[in-house]
Structure 1
Protein backbone atom coordinates (compact mmCIF):
# COMPACT_ATOMS: atom_id res chain seq x y z
CA UNK A 1 0.00 0.00 0.00
CA UNK A 2 2.78 2.43 0.92
CA UNK A 3 4.38 1.85 -2.45
CA UNK A 4 1.27 2.95 -4.27
CA UNK A 5 1.00 5.96 -1.97
CA UNK A 6 4.62 6.91 -2.65
CA UNK A 7 4.13 6.70 -6.39
CA UNK A 8 1.01 8.85 -6.07
CA UNK A 9 2.93 11.45 -4.06
CA UNK A 10 5.68 11.43 -6.68
CA UNK A 11 3.14 11.95 -9.44
CA UNK A 12 1.60 14.89 -7.57
CA UNK A 13 5.06 16.25 -6.86
CA UNK A 14 5.95 16.33 -10.53
CA UNK A 15 2.76 17.82 -11.94
CA UNK A 16 2.81 21.35 -13.25
CA UNK A 17 5.41 23.08 -15.35
CA UNK A 18 7.63 25.96 -14.32
CA UNK A 19 6.20 29.42 -14.75
CA UNK A 20 7.25 31.03 -17.98
CA UNK A 21 8.62 34.12 -16.18
CA UNK A 22 10.87 32.12 -13.83
CA UNK A 23 14.40 30.99 -14.59
CA UNK A 24 15.29 27.56 -13.25
CA UNK A 25 18.60 26.00 -14.11
CA UNK A 26 18.62 22.38 -15.23
CA UNK A 27 21.07 21.35 -12.49
CA UNK A 28 18.86 22.90 -9.78
CA UNK A 29 15.77 21.15 -11.14
CA UNK A 30 17.65 17.84 -11.07
CA UNK A 31 18.73 18.39 -7.45
CA UNK A 32 15.18 19.17 -6.36
CA UNK A 33 13.56 16.18 -8.03
CA UNK A 34 16.06 13.37 -8.43
CA UNK A 35 15.62 11.75 -4.99
CA UNK A 36 11.86 11.12 -5.23
CA UNK A 37 12.32 10.02 -8.84
CA UNK A 38 15.02 7.52 -7.91
CA UNK A 39 12.95 6.12 -5.04
CA UNK A 40 9.84 5.71 -7.17
CA UNK A 41 11.74 4.24 -10.13
CA UNK A 42 13.55 1.81 -7.80
CA UNK A 43 10.18 0.50 -6.68
CA UNK A 44 9.04 0.13 -10.27
CA UNK A 45 12.28 -1.68 -11.15
CA UNK A 46 11.93 -3.97 -8.14
CA UNK A 47 8.45 -4.88 -9.32
CA UNK A 48 9.74 -5.30 -12.89
CA UNK A 49 7.21 -2.71 -13.95
CA UNK A 50 9.19 -1.22 -16.83
CA UNK A 51 6.16 0.60 -18.20
CA UNK A 52 5.86 2.48 -14.91
CA UNK A 53 9.60 3.15 -14.96
CA UNK A 54 9.30 4.79 -18.36
CA UNK A 55 6.26 6.76 -17.22
CA UNK A 56 8.19 8.09 -14.23
CA UNK A 57 11.11 9.14 -16.43
CA UNK A 58 8.80 10.82 -18.93
CA UNK A 59 6.96 12.59 -16.08
CA UNK A 60 10.21 13.88 -14.59
CA UNK A 61 11.34 15.19 -17.97
CA UNK A 62 8.03 16.69 -19.02
CA UNK A 63 7.02 18.34 -15.75
CA UNK A 64 10.32 19.25 -14.09
CA UNK A 65 13.18 19.36 -16.61
CA UNK A 66 11.72 20.61 -19.88
CA UNK A 67 11.79 24.39 -20.00
CA UNK A 68 14.73 24.75 -17.62
CA UNK A 69 17.83 26.69 -18.61
CA UNK A 70 20.64 24.31 -19.39
CA UNK A 71 23.78 25.07 -17.43
CA UNK A 72 26.68 26.83 -19.15
CA UNK A 73 28.95 23.83 -19.01
CA UNK A 74 32.51 24.11 -20.28
CA UNK A 75 33.57 20.70 -21.58
CA UNK A 76 36.93 19.41 -22.73
CA UNK A 77 37.03 19.05 -26.51
CA UNK A 78 38.73 16.12 -28.20
CA UNK A 79 39.74 18.20 -31.22
CA UNK A 80 39.86 21.52 -29.35
CA UNK A 81 40.79 22.74 -25.88
CA UNK A 82 37.24 23.31 -24.69
CA UNK A 83 33.62 23.67 -25.75
CA UNK A 84 31.48 26.30 -24.00
CA UNK A 85 27.83 25.40 -24.54
CA UNK A 86 26.42 28.92 -24.14
CA UNK A 87 28.76 30.22 -26.85
CA UNK A 88 27.08 27.93 -29.39
CA UNK A 89 24.53 30.26 -30.99
CA UNK A 90 22.15 27.63 -32.32
CA UNK A 91 20.17 24.64 -31.06
CA UNK A 92 22.20 21.76 -29.64
CA UNK A 93 21.63 18.04 -29.78
CA UNK A 94 23.68 16.78 -26.84
CA UNK A 95 24.36 13.03 -26.72
CA UNK A 96 26.12 11.32 -23.81
CA UNK A 97 27.92 7.99 -24.09
CA UNK A 98 30.79 6.10 -22.50
CA UNK A 99 33.47 4.45 -24.61
CA UNK A 100 33.13 1.16 -22.73
CA UNK A 101 29.40 0.90 -23.52
CA UNK A 102 28.32 -0.84 -26.71
CA UNK A 103 26.65 1.82 -28.85
CA UNK A 104 23.94 1.12 -31.34
CA UNK A 105 25.59 0.54 -34.71
CA UNK A 106 23.16 2.97 -36.31
CA UNK A 107 23.94 5.92 -34.00
CA UNK A 108 27.21 7.17 -35.51
CA UNK A 109 26.05 7.09 -39.18
CA UNK A 110 22.69 8.63 -38.19
CA UNK A 111 24.37 11.48 -36.28
CA UNK A 112 26.81 12.07 -39.15
CA UNK A 113 23.92 12.26 -41.60
CA UNK A 114 22.00 14.68 -39.38
CA UNK A 115 25.08 16.87 -38.93
CA UNK A 116 25.27 17.15 -42.73
CA UNK A 117 21.52 17.48 -43.20
CA UNK A 118 21.01 20.45 -40.89
CA UNK A 119 24.21 22.23 -41.84
CA UNK A 120 24.66 25.44 -39.89
CA UNK A 121 21.28 25.29 -38.15
CA UNK A 122 22.17 22.76 -35.46
CA UNK A 123 25.22 21.75 -33.45
CA UNK A 124 25.61 18.13 -32.41
CA UNK A 125 27.75 17.68 -29.31
CA UNK A 126 28.75 14.24 -28.02
CA UNK A 127 30.08 13.89 -24.48
CA UNK A 128 31.90 10.71 -23.50
CA UNK A 129 32.22 9.97 -19.79
CA UNK A 130 35.82 9.03 -20.25
CA UNK A 131 39.43 10.16 -20.48
CA UNK A 132 40.82 11.48 -23.76
CA UNK A 133 43.26 8.61 -24.22
CA UNK A 134 40.35 6.16 -24.53
CA UNK A 135 38.56 8.03 -27.32
CA UNK A 136 40.87 7.84 -30.34
CA UNK A 137 39.10 4.97 -32.07
CA UNK A 138 35.65 6.10 -31.04
CA UNK A 139 36.03 9.77 -31.98
CA UNK A 140 37.05 8.89 -35.54
CA UNK A 141 33.60 7.43 -36.20
CA UNK A 142 32.05 10.91 -36.24
CA UNK A 143 32.51 13.62 -38.85
CA UNK A 144 34.14 17.02 -38.31
CA UNK A 145 30.82 18.84 -37.96
CA UNK A 146 30.18 17.08 -34.65
CA UNK A 147 31.91 18.37 -31.53
CA UNK A 148 33.42 15.45 -29.59
CA UNK A 149 33.94 16.12 -25.89
CA UNK A 150 34.82 14.18 -22.78
CA UNK A 151 34.40 14.45 -19.01
CA UNK A 152 35.46 12.17 -16.19
CA UNK A 153 35.37 11.94 -12.41
CA UNK A 154 39.17 11.99 -12.43
CA UNK A 155 39.16 15.65 -13.54
CA UNK A 156 38.29 18.10 -10.76
CA UNK A 157 36.64 20.63 -13.07
CA UNK A 158 34.28 17.97 -14.42
CA UNK A 159 32.53 17.32 -11.11
CA UNK A 160 29.38 19.36 -11.84
CA UNK A 161 28.64 18.03 -15.31
CA UNK A 162 29.35 14.44 -14.25
CA UNK A 163 27.12 14.78 -11.19
CA UNK A 164 24.34 16.57 -13.10
CA UNK A 165 24.15 14.37 -16.19
CA UNK A 166 25.92 11.05 -15.74
CA UNK A 167 24.97 10.29 -12.13
CA UNK A 168 21.33 11.29 -12.44
CA UNK A 169 19.64 10.39 -15.71
CA UNK A 170 22.27 7.84 -16.73
CA UNK A 171 23.56 7.03 -20.19
CA UNK A 172 23.25 6.89 -23.08
CA UNK A 173 20.95 9.90 -22.99
CA UNK A 174 20.18 12.60 -25.55
CA UNK A 175 19.11 16.19 -24.87
CA UNK A 176 17.66 18.70 -27.31
CA UNK A 177 18.41 22.29 -26.25
CA UNK A 178 17.10 25.29 -28.17
CA UNK A 179 19.10 28.34 -29.30
CA UNK A 180 18.31 30.11 -25.99
CA UNK A 181 19.71 27.11 -24.11
CA UNK A 182 16.33 25.98 -22.80
CA UNK A 183 15.79 22.23 -22.47
CA UNK A 184 13.17 21.17 -25.00
CA UNK A 185 13.18 17.41 -24.46
CA UNK A 186 15.27 14.53 -23.14
CA UNK A 187 15.31 10.88 -24.18
CA UNK A 188 17.10 7.71 -23.29
CA UNK A 189 18.75 5.77 -26.09
CA UNK A 190 17.63 2.16 -26.13
CA UNK A 191 20.20 -0.53 -26.85
CA UNK A 192 19.24 -1.96 -30.24
CA UNK A 193 22.22 -4.31 -30.40
CA UNK A 194 20.43 -6.93 -28.34
CA UNK A 195 18.34 -7.61 -31.42
CA UNK A 196 19.96 -8.90 -34.59
CA UNK A 197 19.07 -6.20 -37.05
CA UNK A 198 20.65 -5.05 -40.29
CA UNK A 199 22.78 -1.90 -40.54
CA UNK A 200 20.01 -0.22 -42.54
CA UNK A 201 17.41 -1.03 -39.90
CA UNK A 202 19.71 0.12 -37.11
CA UNK A 203 20.38 3.36 -38.97
CA UNK A 204 16.65 3.97 -39.48
CA UNK A 205 15.90 3.45 -35.79
CA UNK A 206 18.70 5.75 -34.62
CA UNK A 207 17.91 8.37 -37.24
CA UNK A 208 14.24 8.40 -36.24
CA UNK A 209 15.01 8.93 -32.55
CA UNK A 210 17.38 11.84 -33.11
CA UNK A 211 15.44 13.50 -35.94
CA UNK A 212 12.16 13.31 -34.02
CA UNK A 213 13.79 15.11 -31.10
CA UNK A 214 15.26 17.80 -33.35
CA UNK A 215 11.90 18.37 -35.00
CA UNK A 216 9.75 18.24 -31.90
CA UNK A 217 6.85 20.67 -31.40
CA UNK A 218 7.63 24.23 -32.53
CA UNK A 219 11.31 23.49 -33.21
CA UNK A 220 11.28 22.74 -36.93
CA UNK A 221 14.67 23.45 -38.46
CA UNK A 222 15.16 24.69 -41.99
CA UNK A 223 17.39 22.40 -44.00
CA UNK A 224 20.70 23.37 -45.51
CA UNK A 225 20.09 21.56 -48.78
CA UNK A 226 23.62 22.16 -50.02
CA UNK A 227 24.97 19.78 -47.37
CA UNK A 228 22.13 17.31 -47.28
CA UNK A 229 23.28 13.70 -47.68
CA UNK A 230 21.39 10.43 -47.50
Structure 2
Protein backbone atom coordinates (compact mmCIF):
# COMPACT_ATOMS: atom_id res chain seq x y z
CA UNK A 1 0.00 0.00 0.00
CA UNK A 2 1.37 3.37 -1.04
CA UNK A 3 1.86 5.90 1.82
CA UNK A 4 -0.44 8.91 1.73
CA UNK A 5 0.98 11.92 -0.07
CA UNK A 6 2.01 14.88 2.06
CA UNK A 7 1.28 18.16 0.31
CA UNK A 8 3.51 21.20 0.53
CA UNK A 9 0.66 23.40 1.75
CA UNK A 10 0.22 21.30 4.88
CA UNK A 11 3.76 22.04 6.08
CA UNK A 12 3.42 25.81 6.56
CA UNK A 13 2.92 25.76 10.33
CA UNK A 14 6.09 23.72 10.84
CA UNK A 15 8.02 25.92 8.43
CA UNK A 16 6.94 29.04 10.28
CA UNK A 17 8.00 27.55 13.60
CA UNK A 18 11.42 26.54 12.25
CA UNK A 19 11.82 30.02 10.74
CA UNK A 20 11.11 31.61 14.12
CA UNK A 21 13.51 29.24 15.89
CA UNK A 22 16.21 29.91 13.31
CA UNK A 23 15.82 33.66 13.71
CA UNK A 24 16.20 33.39 17.48
CA UNK A 25 19.64 31.84 16.99
CA UNK A 26 20.62 34.37 14.31
CA UNK A 27 19.72 37.12 16.79
CA UNK A 28 22.05 35.49 19.32
CA UNK A 29 24.84 35.29 16.75
CA UNK A 30 24.70 31.49 16.77
CA UNK A 31 24.96 30.73 13.05
CA UNK A 32 25.50 26.99 13.56
CA UNK A 33 22.19 26.35 15.32
CA UNK A 34 20.38 28.86 13.11
CA UNK A 35 21.46 26.85 10.07
CA UNK A 36 20.28 23.61 11.66
CA UNK A 37 16.75 25.00 11.78
CA UNK A 38 17.07 26.17 8.17
CA UNK A 39 18.08 22.62 7.25
CA UNK A 40 15.00 21.36 9.11
CA UNK A 41 12.83 23.51 6.85
CA UNK A 42 14.34 21.86 3.78
CA UNK A 43 13.77 18.42 5.31
CA UNK A 44 10.09 19.27 5.82
CA UNK A 45 9.66 20.42 2.20
CA UNK A 46 11.56 17.72 0.32
CA UNK A 47 9.41 14.73 -0.76
CA UNK A 48 6.16 16.64 -0.36
CA UNK A 49 3.88 17.16 -3.37
CA UNK A 50 2.47 20.32 -4.86
CA UNK A 51 -1.20 20.37 -5.76
CA UNK A 52 -2.51 21.11 -9.25
CA UNK A 53 -2.10 24.79 -10.05
CA UNK A 54 -2.85 26.89 -13.10
CA UNK A 55 -0.40 29.78 -13.38
CA UNK A 56 -1.11 32.66 -15.76
CA UNK A 57 2.03 33.96 -17.41
CA UNK A 58 2.87 37.60 -18.05
CA UNK A 59 1.72 37.08 -21.65
CA UNK A 60 -1.61 35.66 -20.50
CA UNK A 61 -1.04 31.98 -21.29
CA UNK A 62 -1.77 29.24 -18.76
CA UNK A 63 0.82 26.88 -17.32
CA UNK A 64 -0.79 23.80 -15.75
CA UNK A 65 1.18 21.80 -13.19
CA UNK A 66 -1.06 18.77 -13.67
CA UNK A 67 -0.07 16.00 -16.08
CA UNK A 68 3.36 17.39 -16.88
CA UNK A 69 5.63 15.34 -19.10
CA UNK A 70 8.77 17.16 -17.93
CA UNK A 71 10.20 17.97 -14.51
CA UNK A 72 9.87 21.57 -13.35
CA UNK A 73 12.22 24.21 -12.02
CA UNK A 74 9.87 26.43 -9.99
CA UNK A 75 11.46 29.52 -8.50
CA UNK A 76 9.86 32.26 -6.41
CA UNK A 77 11.51 35.62 -6.92
CA UNK A 78 11.09 39.39 -6.86
CA UNK A 79 12.27 42.29 -9.00
CA UNK A 80 13.80 44.09 -6.00
CA UNK A 81 15.80 41.05 -4.83
CA UNK A 82 19.51 41.69 -5.55
CA UNK A 83 20.63 38.01 -5.65
CA UNK A 84 17.63 37.21 -7.89
CA UNK A 85 18.69 39.86 -10.41
CA UNK A 86 22.32 38.74 -10.24
CA UNK A 87 21.29 35.17 -11.07
CA UNK A 88 19.49 36.07 -14.32
CA UNK A 89 22.47 35.55 -16.71
CA UNK A 90 23.21 32.07 -15.35
CA UNK A 91 19.53 31.15 -15.25
CA UNK A 92 19.14 32.19 -18.89
CA UNK A 93 22.06 29.96 -19.88
CA UNK A 94 20.62 27.02 -17.97
CA UNK A 95 17.14 27.48 -19.46
CA UNK A 96 18.59 27.66 -22.96
CA UNK A 97 20.60 24.47 -22.39
CA UNK A 98 17.86 22.40 -20.71
CA UNK A 99 14.62 23.81 -22.18
CA UNK A 100 13.81 20.52 -23.93
CA UNK A 101 14.12 18.55 -20.69
CA UNK A 102 12.82 20.88 -17.97
CA UNK A 103 10.06 23.48 -17.64
CA UNK A 104 11.34 26.72 -16.12
CA UNK A 105 8.70 28.72 -14.23
CA UNK A 106 9.29 31.85 -12.15
CA UNK A 107 6.66 33.12 -9.72
CA UNK A 108 7.14 36.82 -8.97
CA UNK A 109 6.15 38.73 -5.87
CA UNK A 110 5.57 41.64 -8.25
CA UNK A 111 2.35 42.42 -10.13
CA UNK A 112 2.39 42.43 -13.93
CA UNK A 113 2.87 46.18 -14.33
CA UNK A 114 6.24 45.98 -12.58
CA UNK A 115 7.57 43.20 -14.83
CA UNK A 116 7.16 44.68 -18.31
CA UNK A 117 10.71 46.02 -18.48
CA UNK A 118 12.35 43.29 -16.38
CA UNK A 119 10.83 40.52 -18.50
CA UNK A 120 13.08 41.54 -21.41
CA UNK A 121 16.09 40.37 -19.41
CA UNK A 122 14.91 36.75 -19.26
CA UNK A 123 15.29 34.00 -21.82
CA UNK A 124 11.92 33.63 -23.60
CA UNK A 125 11.85 29.90 -22.76
CA UNK A 126 11.22 30.83 -19.09
CA UNK A 127 7.59 31.25 -18.01
CA UNK A 128 7.23 34.43 -15.94
CA UNK A 129 4.21 34.53 -13.62
CA UNK A 130 3.27 37.81 -11.90
CA UNK A 131 1.29 38.05 -8.66
CA UNK A 132 -2.29 39.15 -9.10
CA UNK A 133 -2.45 40.06 -5.42
CA UNK A 134 0.55 41.35 -3.49
CA UNK A 135 0.48 40.23 0.15
CA UNK A 136 1.63 42.49 2.99
CA UNK A 137 4.58 40.26 4.01
CA UNK A 138 7.43 40.97 1.55
CA UNK A 139 8.74 37.41 1.96
CA UNK A 140 5.48 35.76 0.93
CA UNK A 141 3.68 35.06 -2.34
CA UNK A 142 0.29 33.50 -2.99
CA UNK A 143 -0.38 32.73 -6.65
CA UNK A 144 -3.12 30.45 -7.98
CA UNK A 145 -3.24 28.54 -4.70
CA UNK A 146 0.55 28.20 -4.40
CA UNK A 147 1.73 29.80 -1.16
CA UNK A 148 5.38 30.41 -0.29
CA UNK A 149 6.66 32.16 2.86
CA UNK A 150 10.43 31.68 2.67
CA UNK A 151 11.77 34.73 0.87
CA UNK A 152 13.61 35.01 -2.44
CA UNK A 153 15.09 33.45 -4.42
CA UNK A 154 13.82 30.03 -3.40
CA UNK A 155 13.66 27.12 -5.82
CA UNK A 156 11.53 23.99 -5.81
CA UNK A 157 12.78 21.14 -8.03
CA UNK A 158 9.72 19.10 -8.97
CA UNK A 159 9.25 15.79 -10.81
CA UNK A 160 6.53 15.28 -13.45
CA UNK A 161 4.51 13.60 -10.68
CA UNK A 162 4.59 16.91 -8.76
CA UNK A 163 6.93 15.66 -6.05
CA UNK A 164 9.44 18.15 -4.64
CA UNK A 165 12.82 16.40 -4.70
CA UNK A 166 14.92 19.40 -3.71
CA UNK A 167 14.52 22.88 -2.24
CA UNK A 168 17.26 25.50 -2.43
CA UNK A 169 17.64 29.14 -1.48
CA UNK A 170 19.88 32.02 -2.37
CA UNK A 171 22.15 33.03 -5.24
CA UNK A 172 25.56 34.60 -5.54
CA UNK A 173 25.78 38.34 -6.27
CA UNK A 174 28.76 40.60 -6.94
CA UNK A 175 30.00 42.00 -3.64
CA UNK A 176 32.98 42.81 -1.48
CA UNK A 177 33.15 41.50 2.08
CA UNK A 178 35.64 40.94 4.88
CA UNK A 179 36.35 37.40 6.03
CA UNK A 180 36.77 36.40 9.67
CA UNK A 181 40.55 36.51 9.19
CA UNK A 182 40.29 40.17 8.14
CA UNK A 183 40.98 39.58 4.45
CA UNK A 184 38.81 41.52 2.00
CA UNK A 185 37.24 39.40 -0.74
CA UNK A 186 35.63 40.66 -3.94
CA UNK A 187 33.21 38.56 -6.00
CA UNK A 188 32.97 39.95 -9.51
CA UNK A 189 29.93 39.62 -11.77
CA UNK A 190 31.87 37.06 -13.81
CA UNK A 191 32.61 34.98 -10.72
CA UNK A 192 29.02 35.28 -9.50
CA UNK A 193 27.81 34.07 -12.92
CA UNK A 194 30.17 31.09 -12.79
CA UNK A 195 29.10 30.06 -9.29
CA UNK A 196 25.40 30.50 -10.08
CA UNK A 197 25.66 28.50 -13.30
CA UNK A 198 27.50 25.62 -11.62
CA UNK A 199 24.99 25.47 -8.77
CA UNK A 200 21.96 25.65 -11.07
CA UNK A 201 23.32 23.00 -13.41
CA UNK A 202 24.02 20.67 -10.49
CA UNK A 203 20.41 21.14 -9.35
CA UNK A 204 19.02 20.47 -12.84
CA UNK A 205 21.13 17.35 -13.32
CA UNK A 206 19.98 16.04 -9.93
CA UNK A 207 16.36 16.78 -10.88
CA UNK A 208 16.68 14.93 -14.20
CA UNK A 209 18.36 11.95 -12.55
CA UNK A 210 15.77 11.63 -9.79
CA UNK A 211 12.88 12.16 -12.23
CA UNK A 212 14.24 9.32 -14.38
CA UNK A 213 14.37 7.05 -11.33
CA UNK A 214 10.74 7.92 -10.50
CA UNK A 215 9.69 6.94 -14.02
CA UNK A 216 11.24 3.45 -13.83
Shorter-normalised TM range: 0.7 to 0.9
For 1:158, which of 137, 143, 147 is the aligned residue?
Answer: 143
What is aligned with 2:100?
120
Q: Is the 8 A contact 1:215 1:221 kept in 2?
A: no
What is aligned with 2:29?
48
Counterparts of 1:78-89 in structure 2 under 5 Å?
78-89=58-69
Shift, 1:23, TM fit? 0.6
Shift, 1:71, TM fit? 2.3
TM-score, length-normalised on structure 1?
Answer: 0.75
| Structure 1 stretches lacking a partner, 5+ long | 1-18, 223-230
Q: Secondary structure at the match of 2:49?
A: coil
What is aligned with 1:101?
81
| Structure 2 stretches lacking a partner, 5+ long | 136-141, 177-185
Q: Secondary structure at the match of 2:76?
A: strand
What is the CA RMSD across the aligned residues, in angstroms?
A: 2.6
Q: Is 1:26 aligned to 2:16, yes or no?
A: no
Q: Distance in 2 between matches of 1:75 and 1:191?
A: 28
TM-score, length-normalised on structure 2?
Answer: 0.79
Counterparts of 1:106-185 in structure 2 under 5 Å?
106-154=86-134, 158=143, 160-161=145-146, 164-165=147-148, 168-185=149-166
Q: Is the 8 A contact 2:72 2:102 kept in 1?
A: yes
1:38/1:80 CA distance change after superposition, 3 Å: same
Shift, 1:100, TM fit? 1.9
Q: Distance in 2 between matches of 1:29 and 1:158?
A: 17
What is aligned with 1:209?
199
More helix by share: 1
Shift, 1:26, TM fit? 0.7
How big is each residue's C-alpha offset from its partner over 1:19-72, in whole Å with a ceiling of 9 and x where there is no partner?
A: 9622111111223x124213311211221223322221222212x211111122
Q: Is the 8 A contact 1:103 1:191 kept in 2?
A: yes
Shift, 1:114, TM fit? 1.2
Q: Distance in 2 between matches of 1:148 and 1:218?
A: 22
